Chain A
Amino acid sequence: MALNSNIPDGPIQQKWDKHRAELKLVNPANKRKYNVIVVGTGLAGASAAATLAELGYNVSAFTYHDSARRAHSIAAQGGINAAKNYQNDGDSVWRLFYDTIKGGDFRARESNVYRLAQVSTSIIDQCVAQGVPFAREYGGYLSNRSFGGAQVSRTFYARGQTGQQLLIGAYQALQRQVGLGKVKLHNKQEMMDLIVVDGRARGIVTRDMVTGKVQSHMADAVVLATGGYGNVFYLSTNAMACNVTATYRAHKRGAFFANPCYTQIHPTCIPQSGDYQSKLTLMSESLRNDGRIWVPKQKGDTRSPDQIPETERDYYLERKYPSFGNLSPRDIASRAAKEVCDEGRGVGPGGLGVYLDFSDAIRRLGEKTIADRYGNLFEMYERITGENPYKVPMRIYPAVHYTMGGLWVDYNLMSNVPGLFVLGEANFSDHGANRLGASALMQGLADGYFVIPYTIGGYFANGGLQAVGNDSQEARTAVQESEQKIAALLALNGKRSPTSFHRELGKIMWDKCGMARNEQGLKEALKRIPELREEFWQNVKIPGSGAELNQSLELGLRVADFLEFAELMCFDALQRNESCGGHFREEYQTEDGEAKRNDDEYCYAAAWEYNGVGATPTLHKEDLSFDNVKLATRSYK
């Protein structure tokens, strides 16, 4: 099957305007005749559901949380980018576009990224109008900070709680529509499957997490905004419940999964402290504005940091990348940290850590200013580690944070299954092989507020949708299959907990498909994962029944999907014989250890088609063309 990305023609600056002008419209009176299912109420889902309802569509929104406000977007700390150029420092739509393409290591689709940069400015306006309390300067104007991979200051923030405030804005807009009766919100409902009828996405199967009831919901289009799959690694900065089920189930129903191996390892997380560790905590990248990263020059130097004189410290990012320094992009900063730790210069227990030191900034700006900027992050650090970062440098280590891969979508954010739209972290569209800080929030809201409201209308206006009900064969079969899967899991009554399998899978993935990968390791993983999956299906233990609130069952179902999905990631990583962004293949590096891309052979998005559990998936390539930005070796030196 040929992938058609449906990129409008014409100059990149005009594509989106032109496309909007050409999209067929649904007239206002007809909009209420269309039912739209939105799965997920994070930034992408909540903004989409609210906006579609404002336009007049009938929206049903689903989340596995007890409230729409709890989506993982809430945890984003640092900020959101927008090309406002309020700082008069030379920012522009073009520059944001360029930085994102370059940051993504030339593996994203130009047209989508340009549109993202274009609508970024409207996002800020919309959020301000909703009452999002962005940080302000004394004069009353919006304040900005800098983030990695950019030399301009374009990041808007609300203390260290930007994601929370943006999500609350979208959540409030959503609740307003619920109050007006335009959105039916289904909390505590987990999507188990996608229902495809006549080749189009027409509904979903859900499990009620309180009563256990499995049922179908039908609609004219399905929008997935279900977030990323970083928890395949077990330990990540993602919230505990984040999982791949929704997108993976859609993949099993025909949707192509693109670039699953592109995962982002964030350089500034609190190091792991023990085996019981359930998740890792991010320290926002914004800290790198004022914190300096270093390790001792000497191997195995166990002196306390204040005993190590300036001359015996290696500020390795400043040394290696003088123009970006501590603000080098994430993939580069993470790998650099791994490198110094591998050399035996890491600090803290097990030598898996580097210092993030604020003493210079505190001397320069005073403790109060630092507290103003990062107070809550410092508090959080102290609560977790018991150490006071105003006094001793933080210890940080890279951790899995974000997944650039996701379901393949065209310019309209529609997957190859007509009627299935995918937004936010769940799609693959804008970040290529590496995402720049503060760009995920921007993308989620761009997709939800400003893209899908237009493109979904174009899909409906093209017509051809027959009525399909819950009694259709496809819906009944899908419900039965989900019920059978639940029954099968509960019947196993083995010896091991779902968590123990999850942890083991995570370790395989981190070791073999993590910050650095190689052919041999990936092949080993491809051998180990099916074995582990087999054991899972013989030996997992899930107490209780399906007809009640059963958290072990919820976890078991998610882990079962991770155990299939992990293989897909390894296939993808193995296929890509180059290093780019978050995908670092050890065989492909320059002499000084930088990622070595291979544009002649790999300048494409890899979209995978499902062929059955354990079967090798089929690769479809979307060739990426760079007509506006010249393909170049990424350099932050």
Chain B
Amino acid sequence: MNLRLHIWRQSGPDAQGMLKTYDVQNVSEHMSFLEMLDVLNEDLLTKGEIPVAFDHDCREGICGTCGMVINGRPHGPLVRTTACQLHMRTFKDGDEIYIEPWRARAFPVMRDLIVDRGSFDRIIQKGGFVSVNTGNAQDGNAIPISKKDADRAMDAAACIGCGACVAACPNSSAMLFTAAKVGHLGSLPQGQTERSTRAMNMVLQMDAEGFGACTNHYECEAACPKGISAEFIAQMNKDFVASAFGGRD
């Protein structure tokens, strides 16, 4: 198939960006979306033009590195699918495709489609962990955990830290990402000791990074490639209120 791409080009963090149009020919339906961009980039490079910078690594939907807004949707049209797992059979000959970076104050554009998501790491640094040093652990089976709780923790822990939830949110809120971590640890007995402070400290950092507030649009849940449920936001809000009474540290 032949396609027309409109891609955001921006040469650096402070540069002015714009959409540029490229035509790509003979795209196979078996290609992944990123492989289609590879083909474009090889072509640009041999013509002496600068290839389109985009982030990617595992190409298996697990590392969370890739991320781009495709036709207005973070990660593109398929539900629960990262950009790297999207295949060209989803498109048809003659399609025009708009490709842009995540847009959020807390995710500055570094180049073309690459943004800086360091703010996510800083949120985790404020409490997205269990404070246990290596060597302190008791036997793994000494803490039985019901399958239900373990499954719930796993549902939340499946977050890949891609940032699509932020890109989808009209307020650029990072609630789903933050709630996924709070929900993962809060579903497990190991996470209870620090539960009262975790939500508070992480949410405050989220605000400090310039992410917006949550006004219940649920766009995040729809865009999340890992199907993280917005229910975790409700759970985090409860923890947050509880810790407002308990104080933060």
Contacts and interface: CB of A to CB of B under 8 A. Distances in A.
Interface in A164-192: 164-165, 168, 171-173, 175-176, 178-179, 185, 187
Contacts of B173: none
Contacts, number: 218
Contact of A549 (B46, B110, B124, B134): B110
Contact of B34 (A142, A159, A278, A500): A278
Interface stretch (B91-99, B152-160, B216-224, B238-246): B152-160
Nearest to A171: B124
A129 B51 contact: no
B20 to A, nearest CB: 15
B59 A278 contact: yes
A140 B145 contact: yes
A128 B140 contact: yes
Contact of B146 (A66, A127, A136, A450): A136
A74 B63 contact: yes
B117 A125 contact: no
B207 interface: no
Contact of A164 (B31, B32, B62, B191): B62
Contact of A175 (B125, B132, B188): B125
Interface in A105-155: 122, 124-131, 133-142
A122 B60 CA distance: 30
B132 A129 contact: yes
Contact of A380 (B53, B60, B78, B114): B60
A130 B117 contact: no
Contacts of B199: none
B184 to A, nearest CB: 7
B64 interface: yes
B136 interface: yes
A127 B188 CA distance: 13
B72 interface: no
Contact of B114 (A165, A450, A549): A549
A491 interface: no
A549 B45 contact: no
B190 A130 contact: yes
B17 interface: no
A224 interface: no
A240 B59 contact: yes
A133 B125 contact: no
Residue of A74, A133, A136, A172 with most partner-chain B CB within 10 A: A133
A301 B187 CA distance: 52
B106 to A, nearest CB: 14
A386 B46 contact: no
B118 A67 contact: yes
Interface string A16-48: 000000000000000000000000000000010
B121 A543 contact: no
A131 B184 contact: yes
Interface in A413-451: 449-450
A497 B57 CA distance: 19
B102 interface: no
A297 B175 CA distance: 56
A141 B141 contact: yes
Given A65-B65, A278-B59, A541-B46, A129 B190 contact: yes
A137 to B, nearest CB: 7
A240 B125 contact: no
Nearest to B129: A172
Tell me the dominant secondary structure on chain B's binding face: loop
Interface stretch (A269-277, A476-484, A570-578, A629-637): A269-277
A267 interface: no
B8 interface: no
Nearest to B139: A125
A450 B147 CA distance: 29
A544 interface: yes
A81 to B, nearest CB: 14
Interface in A446-503: 449-450, 453, 495-497, 499-500
A268 interface: no
B6 interface: no
B185 interface: yes
Given A274-B28, A380-B85, A67 B161 contact: yes
Nearest to A542: B45
A549 B125 contact: no
Contact of B131 (A67, A122, A165, A176): A176
A142 B118 contact: no
B157 A168 contact: yes
Contacts of B138: 125, 129
A581 to B, nearest CB: 26
Residue of B58, B114, B118, B131 with most partner-chain A CB within 10 A: B58
Contacts of B120: 67
A279 interface: yes
A363 interface: no
B4 to A, nearest CB: 19
A135 B62 CA distance: 18
B130 interface: yes
B39 to A, nearest CB: 6
A277 B35 contact: yes
A497 B45 contact: yes
Contacts of A386: 30, 87, 89
A133 B188 contact: yes
A386 B32 CA distance: 12
Interface in B73-125: 78, 80-81, 85, 87, 89, 110-111, 114, 116-118, 120-121, 124-125
B23 interface: no
Contact of B154 (A66, A68, A133): A133
B50 A544 contact: yes
B35 A276 contact: yes
A380 to B, nearest CB: 7
B212 interface: no
Given A131-B191, A133-B157, A240-B59, A54 B134 contact: yes
Nearest to B186: A131
B147 A137 contact: yes
Contact of A210 (B50, B61, B65, B110): B110
Given A124-B140, A131-B190, A276-B31, A541 B45 contact: yes
Contact of A239 (B28, B57, B140, B153): B57
A489 to B, nearest CB: 14
B57 A70 contact: yes
A386 B31 CA distance: 11
Nearest to B191: A131
Residue of B57, B89, B126, B131 with most partner-chain A CB within 10 A: B57
Closest 9 CB pairs of A and B: A140-B144, A172-B129, A179-B125, A129-B137, A125-B137, A133-B153, A128-B140, A136-B150, A133-B154
Given A74-B62, A164-B62, 11 more contacts: A69-B161, A70-B64, A128-B143, A139-B144, A164-B160, A168-B157, A172-B124, A173-B129, A274-B30, A276-B31, A383-B87
Interface of B: 11-12, 28, 30-32, 34-35, 38-39, 42, 45-46, 48-51, 53, 55-65, 78, 80-81, 85, 87, 89, 110-111, 114, 116-118, 120-121, 124-126, 128-141, 143-147, 150-151, 153-154, 157-158, 160-161, 184-185, 187-188, 190-191
6 contacts: A128-B143, A130-B130, A131-B190, A172-B130, A175-B125, A176-B131
